[in-house]
Amino acid sequence: MAFSKAPKKVRIGDITVRDGFQHEEKFISTEAKLYYAEQLILAGVKNIELTNLGNPASMPQFKDAEVLLERLINSKVLKNAGISRNDYEITCVTIRDKAVDRAIELRKRGIGPDRLLMMVSTDEEHHFANSGTTLSQYWREAERCIQKAADAGMIMCGTVSTIWGSPISGPTRLEDAVTFSKRWLEIGAHDIEHADHDGSAPPDQVYKYYSMVMDAMPDPNLHVAHFHVTRGWGQANILAALQAGITVYEGTLGGIGGQPANFLDDSPVSGTGDYYYRDPMGVGLTSMEDMVLMFDEMGIETGINVDKILRLGRYMEKTLGRKLRSSAINQGRIPKEPNEQYKRAGLKELKKKLGEI
C-alpha cells in the first residue's frame, strides 16, 4: 500500500531566518527576522534556525546575530503568549571553531543557542570551498567542537552535504554518505542533517538513501531531512523520505534560500564565491507552507497551525518584494465545505422537472 511506512506524526523545524535569508541580496532587518522567528514559534514550530555565528565579513546578512539572539530570547511577544524559553529550541550555524567559541561565550551571557550546526560534504572539493579545510582536518575540529559545546550545555547537529551529488565534482556514492553520517554519531553529534544542498536528489535515490540510513541508524529522531528544490523535486522527495520512515523535516517560508549571497544591497561580498546556479533566484528550499499543508491533508500530525503558516507566507512575499514559490499561499487550503458562490442556479429545479431523485 502506498505510504504504508509513513509515520503518523512528524516534526518540522524552520530555517527561514538563517538558511532562507542567507540567499537574499538585500539586508533583511533585525525587526523582520525577529518578527518571523516569533510568529513561527507562535504557530507551533519548536526549532528555529536563527542565524550564523561565523565571521560576518563574508556573510553580512548575519551581522546582527547577537542582537537577534538576545531579542528573541527576551521576547515579550512570546512571554505574553505564555511561551517560555524551554518551549522552543534555537539553532545557530557554527561552521568553524571560532564560531563555536562565540556560541559558548553567548551561552555564558545567557543569550546563546541550544543547538549548533557544523557541516561536512562528501565531496572534499565542495567541503574545501565551504570550510577551507581538508576533511581529515575538519573531522578533528568537529570532534573538539562537539565536546566544547557539550561542556557548555549545547548539542551539535552534524550536516552531511552533497549526498546525491556535488555541483563541483559530480556524482556521490550513497554508501559514502552513510559512512559520513555514522561518523557524526561516533564523535558525539546529537543528530544528523542529511542535506541535498543543490537539488540533485531524485525521489527514488532519496528513498534508497534514507532506507540505508534507517537500516544503519534506526532511531528516526537522529535524522533531519533537508531538501532544495532547484529542479522542482522537493515535495516528491519529502514523500520518498516519509516512506522510508523519516520523521524530522525542515523548510523555509516561500521556499526561499540557497547558497549564501555574494552581493548585498549595493555591494559585492565574498559569500562562498560564485553561485553554482545560472539563476540565483531559481534555487530554494522546501516550502514550509506547502509541506505543512500537505502533511495536514494526509492526516499526519505536525503540531503547527496551518493557517498561521499560510499567512506568514503571504507576509514574506511583502518582506522580500517578489512572488515566491509556495503553491499553498497562492491556492490556500483545500475546501472542506460547499462553496455556494460557485454553484450555478437552476440545478434543483431541473432535477425536479426531470423527476430525478
Residue 337 has pLDDT above 90, yes or no: no
d(CA 248, CA 244): 12
The single-letter DSSP state of residue 325 is: S
Confidence (pLDDT) at 4: 64
More confident residue, 89 or 171: 89
356: confidence class by pLDDT, cuts 50, 70, 90: very high
pLDDT digits (tens, 9 = 90+) for 60-71: 999 999 999 999
**What pLDDT was estimated at residue 1?**
43
Domains in the chain, start-ordered, CATH in brackets?
Answer: 11-354 (3.20.20.70)
Single-letter residue type at 30: T
pTM above 0.75, yes or no: yes
Per cent of the chain over pLDDT 70 is 99
Give the residues across from 158 on adjacent strands. Answer: 118, 192
Grid coordinates belonging to 13: 523545524
321: left (phi over 0), alpha (psi -120 to 50) or beta: left
Residues sharing a CB contact under 8 Å with residue 82, sequence separation 6 or more, in sequence order: none
Cα–Cα distance for residue pair 141/107, rounded to 1 Å: 20
* pLDDT 10s digits, 200-214: 899 999 999 999 999
**Once rounded to an integer, what is the mean pLDDT over residues 88-117?**
97
CA distance 298 to 7: 11
User: What's the mean pLDDT in 7-24?
Assistant: 95
pLDDT, average across residues 8-25? 96
H or E element at residue 193: strand 191-196
pLDDT tens digit sequence for 256-289: 998 888 889 999 998 877 777 777 777 889 999 9
